[in-house]
Amino acid sequence: MQQEYLMYKGYPLVRSGNRIYYGYMSDPYVVQLDITHKTSQNALEVADKVKLYQISTDEKLNPLEAIIKTSERNSLFEALDLAFAWLERAEQGK
């Protein structure tokens, strides 16, 4: 059975609680987004602090060594936009 994922700009998003993984695990890198703070706007919770980690998918690496880049953004949209740029640059650098 093929599982469908929510996609953003051609890459899948997989969420587990306040953590979102963005990208294909078969690619050299994925981006982990951790929602560290939320605010309430019109009865909805909105992420206003998101920590990003570009992570190598090489299983031989120690988890701490696998982290390539980190950043923090003030909205989920800004974080996804940066994550997309990281994945695109990594794809072009092959």
Q: Does residue 22 lie within any of the structural domains?
A: yes
Contact residues for 48 (Cβ-Cβ < 8 A; gap 6+): 37, 38, 39, 74, 75
Quote the number of domains for the chain: 1
What's the pTM?
A: 0.88
* CA distance linking residue 29 with residue 86, whole number of Å: 9
Print the domain residue range for 11. Answer: 7-92
Q: Is residue 73 part of a domain?
A: yes
pLDDT tens, position by position, 19-72: 999 999 999 999 999 999 999 999 899 999 999 999 999 999 998 999 999 999
- The verdict on residue 2 lying in a domain is no
Range 70-94 burial, b when 16+ CB lie within 10 A, else e: eeebeebeebbebbbebbeebeeee
Is the residue at 26 inside a domain?
Answer: yes
Tell me whether residue 1 is in a domain: no
